[in-house]
Structures are given as structure tokens and as C-alpha cells.
Chain A
Amino acid sequence: MTRRGAVHILDAFLASLIIATALLYSFQVPLGDIPTETQGLSATGYQVILSLDGNSSLGTLLLSEDWNSIEELLNIALPSGVSYNLTVLDENGFIVNTHPISNGGLKGQNIESVEYLLAVESGGCPIYRLRLQMGR
């Protein structure tokens, strides 16, 4: 009886191995209606800041310390489902933004951060360091 039970356990082990192999293989089949998102959060964040800096709109808002408008800009520019927190630091590393620039705090399983050095085109040419933390 003991020997027969051991053989059955071996059978069960082999059966579960087959099931597991089938499951693993099924994960490899790409589904066309759910295309893979190839960008990471940091790539997305960096690209968004770079684009906003391109026509000087971000620099103008930084210079006027219009934190609400910067928050509004990021709310629209970043993809839905991405939480973020932006910290603006000056040349000496001190935090400049007087209140949080965020859409409710960092949330999500994956948290990434990018830093961007931004020089504003104005008389004094002030330099800001932007630290954008994102979660999804």
C-alpha cells in the first residue's frame, strides 16, 4: 500500500509538471489586443520633461514659481495611471517649490525617478534641478 501511494505521488508530480509547463508556455503567446508597453516610467518622465522644456513653457512657469500650473501641466502630460511627485531644487540643492507638486502622492508597484537640469532663458539664467518621482 505504501509503495502504491509513493507511485501515485510521483504521478501527481508529473501531472502538475505538465500543467505548469502548459501555463508557462501560454504566458509566452503575445496577445495582439494588449500591445506591450515598452517604455519604462523613467523613459516616459524624462521624455515628457524634455518636451515641455523644448518650447520654454516649463522654464517660464518655474521662473514665475507658478507651482499650480506646473502641476496642471504634468497632470495632462503624463499618462493616466502614473502617480508622480515633482521636487524643484535650486543651484545649491535647496527645495524651491513651496508646496507639493503631485497628483496625490506616489502609488504603485513600480517607482522610478529621473533628474533633469533646466536652465531658464532669462537675464540671470537660473538653473533648476527637477526631481520627478513616478509610480505605476
Chain B
Amino acid sequence: MPTASIDFTMATLAIIMVTAGAIYGINIVAAPYLETKSSESRFYQLGRSILLSEGNPENWGTGEIPTAFGLSDGNEVYSLNVDKVTRLNSDNHNAVNYSTIWRSLGVDDVSIGIEVSLLYDLSLSVLSSVDNGDNTTYTIQATCTKDGYPVESDMSYYVTVRSSTLHATGITNSSGIGVVQFTIPDTQSGTAMLVGFSKLQDSIVTYDVLPFAHQSGAPQPPNTYATLSPLNNILYPTVTNGSSVNAVVFSYDYSFNLTSSGSEYLIPSLQDAGPMILVLTGVDGADYWSEYVAYPSIPFEVGATMDSDYILSDVSTCTYLVDVGGNHYKIKLQFRSPEKYD
């Protein structure tokens, strides 16, 4: 190999290494300052505006069309109105669609995605069932985690089928696992609804709901028999198959049968903070079914999606801790605008 080629190769390698090292070094040094700068971004302020303002009209949560978008309940900072949040869930009959949200936001060059979620996850599963002749004993497992890490908490469980309700309490241990047993008479056959609440503190409660078959066929997908839309402390059910039998509200500490007012049910204001789970049971021929909805109807996602492979625009994510009806939730706001706008 000629000496000049060796020189050339060595020089190329040396310069590439120096250049790559310089780029890496600059990125490492500059990263914290870039992050600080972006924290005051236009999008973060836009998110704050959405969460701290009530919008227009101020009570648009009760059913009106908003002309200015804001989710606050007008009381404490970062305290959101239960009905405004519930109306963002597309499953609700009174939901506001994305077009309305975008127009009322009033910023033409920004599209928005909203995701509201519980602070940690609770997952319920039926470990086993034993038929005792005239009743069946179910062993239920609850698993509490936050981003994969176990969470110790107090637990409250309910099982409702037809018009009967059972209740039990327990804990999740340091591995995030809790186990409880329910025994249900076989005469109460049908789709049973298992509702579990996990409480870390008074204002941090999460939930999960699991329908399971009790001496009946497998549960049908949600909303097969009825859709439930809570708003303004009234539950509006739309029964599409069969007829309703009973409506119940569950929270961590309480459960009540709901009082009907015509075809609607009045939702009581409960002492404990935290989500309420509303369950409607019914019958279609010989099948006893159960449907449920949470109030406020969290978790959900609404708005523009931001997860395309490549997006030639600025995408920003802002996450906030908010209070909805006395319980804390996480709200993630994602914004997209033309590249390099700001």
C-alpha cells in the first residue's frame, strides 16, 4: 500500500473521530440549557391556559357548546370540572368532538391531543372459581403498579350481579398484589361486574372493572346491551337490548342503588373523593347483563394523534397533575404546529 493512501486513511479517520466527538460533546453540554429554554415554551403556557381557565360559557360542562376552551371548575388551581372532563370522552352521548375543541381553542396553527389517565394502574383478574353445589367461590387477584413498579395500597372490592351486591376490603402488598374471595349464589346467574378501587391516599384513588361470567355465557363486549352517559349528576342510559333491572353507584367507601327519575337515574354526591363507577344491570331474554361507566369518565384520549413515524412539524408534550372531583389524575397535552413556528 502506498504511503499516501495510509496518510489519507489515517487523516480521514482522525478528522471524523474529532468531528463526531465534538458534536457529541456539544450535545452533552448544551442539552440541559436547551431543556431549560424550552420549558417556557408557548405550548406549556397554552396547556396552563386550558387547565386554569373555565372557558366560555363558564358552565359549558352542563351541556352547552364551548366557544372558548377551558377545563377549570373555577375553584382551586388545576382543579378541573367533572362534567367538562367527562364530555371530552367520546363514549359519552354529550361529548364535544375534536372539531369543536379545536375551534374553541382558537389557535389556528396548533392541533391538540388530550390524554387523561389515572396516576397508577390497577388490574383485576379471576384466579380461580370453585363450584360448591349451590354457590360458586371466586378468587380475585388485584395488581397495582406504576410504570411497572409495585404499589402498596388499600383495596375495596364490589361484585354486583342482577340486583345483588357484595363487598370486601383488603390491601395490595409490597409486591403490589392483593387477593380476595367472593361467594355468589348460583341462583344469581348472569354477567357479574367486579369493581375494584385502590386507595393510596384520600385524593389518590384508582380503579378497574372486570365483567365475568357467573353460571352463564361469556360476557359480551362493552355497550352491547346499553350505553351509559353520566352528566351533571344524572345518568342517561340507552338500553338497546332487553330491559334494565338495577342501577348502582360505587366509590371506594360507598355503594348505593340509584334512584330513577323517568328513564334517568340521579347520581348522589358522595363524601369520599375519587371516581364513581356506575353499573346498570338488565335482562335480555334469559341473559342477565351488566354495563358500566366511570364518572368522571377517565381514562380516555381525544384529539389529534401524534404518533406517526415521521412528522415534519413541531410536536410537544406537556404533562400536568390535576384534580378532578377531589381525586388526582394525570393529563397529557400534546401539541403540533408547523415546524419552527416559534
Contact = CB atoms under 8 A, between A and B. Distances in A.
A8 B312 contact: no
Contact of B204 (A20, A33, A73, A80): A73
Contacts, number: 148
6 contacts: A12-B11, A16-B12, A29-B312, A51-B323, A77-B328, A79-B319
B15 A12 contact: yes
Contacts of B44: 38-39, 43
B321 A36 contact: no
A50 B4 contact: no
A37 interface: yes
Given A1-B3, A109-B32, A51 B320 contact: yes
A45 to B, nearest CB: 10
Most buried by B among A31, A48, A57: A57
Contact of B312 (A16, A20, A30, A36): A30
Q: Which 6 A-B pairs have the closest CB atoms?
A: A40-B39, A32-B311, A54-B76, A12-B12, A8-B8, A80-B147
Given A19-B19, A35-B306, A76 B120 contact: yes
Given A19-B19, A54-B323, A77-B321, A38 B7 contact: no
Contact of B307 (A13, A33, A40): A33
Instruction: Determine the main DSSP class of A at the interface with B.
Output: helix
Interface stretch (B95-103, B129-137, B195-203): B195-203
A21 B278 CA distance: 59
A47 B320 contact: yes
B78 A36 contact: no
Contact of B35 (A33, A48, A69, A110): A110
Interface of A: 1, 4-5, 8-9, 11-13, 15-17, 19-20, 23-24, 29-33, 35-40, 42-44, 47-48, 50-52, 54-55, 57, 69, 72-73, 75-77, 79-80, 109-110, 112
Contacts of A15: 12
A54 B20 CA distance: 48
Given A51-B77, A109-B32, A39 B311 contact: no
B5 to A, nearest CB: 8
A51 B308 contact: no
